[in-house]
Amino acid sequence: MDGDASGVEGDNCDWNSEDEREIDDFSLSSSSSLTPPNEETVTGSGEASSSAGSSNSKLFDKFIGMGFTEKMVAKAIQENGEDNTDSILNTLLTYSTLETSPQEQQHIDSDNYSLDCDGSFLDGFSDVDSWSDNEEITNTVFDEDNKLSSLMSMGYTRDEASIAMERCGLNASLVELTDFICAAQISKVEDAHLPVEEKPRPKLPCIVSAKLKKRKHAKLTERIRKALEDYDGEPPLRVQKYVLDECRKWNLVWVGRNKVAPLEPDEVEMLLGFPRNHTRGGGISRTDRYKSLGNSFQVDTVAYHLSVLKDMFPGGINLLSLFSGIGGAEVALHRLGIPLKNVVSVEISEVNRNIVRSWWEQTNQKGNLIDLADVQQLNGDRLEQLMNSFGGFDLVVGGSPCNNLAGSNRHHRDGLEGKESALFYDYFRILDLVKNWSNVS
């Protein structure tokens, strides 16, 4: 866009509108020092230059309000033009990444990040990345009210800002908050184009552990390391609280001096009482291992409750395992020394069925393992056939899905009428069939 084009657009604009006056008031303190990105093309006409400066002020204020420097914004607009805001933002993010070297980080910390900072929105905001890394630890720049007012000054509603601060946490930086709001706005637009009925929603497991969530642990662990290395002796209480809260929230463990790391699948197996490499191999991905372990009970706890069966069934046991998962009940009985004569395992996940089958073969079980995919297909005829073949079941165990009962499920918390949690009724249906067969026989 050249100066003449800006002038033509200016003739059709209402320069006395409330929006323009609000923009002029907001940028009054910085407009005198701004250099329009198209300065070379507008210097020929004073009127055109004035129009271009006014039309650019809103765009300048938008990116300056996001924390980028005036020089950086002017350079990005000059390279990409005024109409392509996405390209301008990508260029600004690239500039910020290139500028965050250790030397510049130290310079910014010493010049702009005084611990006595008064919390002004634009003061000390010359580098977004360094601000993001330090704000969560020092907590001396912005408080909750300042962040809320800053987000509202960018054009976001109070509800959007409040929700972002609630979801991201009070220690989240402005960059993280704006990213969250933008992502939420995009999600609403895309969701509006889906059919009203049967909109896809995430299916959350009964046990939701933070270690199963996708997160860039590397950046978090690096922030924790820096927070602790800033102090030779014992860190202040606020830093101690920050570190302990993050470790507890994301299941981080200490692996060295000032070093934390997320739990590995092998470590989760050990904590849950499963054999080493229980979920490993057979083409099972790392993500599937985390997911399978996240839906499991602690084996030692299960074994404690089943330990009374050891003297009752010294010669072995016939087991009906509903919603088997990765075989927690089977592993517990094996650890107690109770032989597994016949096991009917019902589990819908093929990954979990493969894990149980692999464990069965590796432990050289002498009995029979029959695995079924769907509990709803286990009707009376099929169940009677199985019980007649080996004389009925001695033990029925199972834990039906509780997706629609979990507090973390904000989309389909339908109780026992939900699609997954309704399988609870199948558990009792099958249990009654087993009891009736036993009484008749």
Which of the residues are catalytic? 402
Residues 217 and 262 sit within 8 Å (Cβ to Cβ)? yes
Residues 97 and 129 sit within 8 Å (Cβ to Cβ)? yes
Distance between CA atoms of residues 223 and 229, nearest Å: 10
Within 10 A of 363 (CB to CB), how many other CB atoms are there? 12
User: Collapsing DSSP states into helix, strand and coil, what is residue 164?
Assistant: helix
Within 8 A by CB and 6+ apart from 385, the residues are: none
Q: Which amino acid is at 395?
A: L
User: Collapsing DSSP states into helix, strand and coil, what is residue 430?
Assistant: helix
Distance between CA atoms of residues 296 and 269, nearest Å: 10
Tokens 């329009």 correspond to: 36
> 332: closest CA among 350, 353, 349, 309?
309
∠ at Cα 68 (188, 81), nearest 5°?
75
| 328: Cα separation from own chain's centroid | 27
Residues 137 and 239 sit within 8 Å (Cβ to Cβ)? yes
The H-or-E segment that residue 259 falls in is: strand 259-262
3's tokens: 């100066």
User: Collapsing DSSP states into helix, strand and coil, what is residue 169?
Assistant: coil
Distance between CA atoms of residues 426 and 377, nearest Å: 10
**DSSP letter for each residue of 352-368:** HHHHHHHHHHHTT--SE
Question: Within 13 A of 274's CA, how many CA atoms are on the CB side?
Answer: 27
Runs of H (alpha helix) within 27-143: 28-31, 39-42, 46-65, 70-80, 85-99, 102-112, 128-138
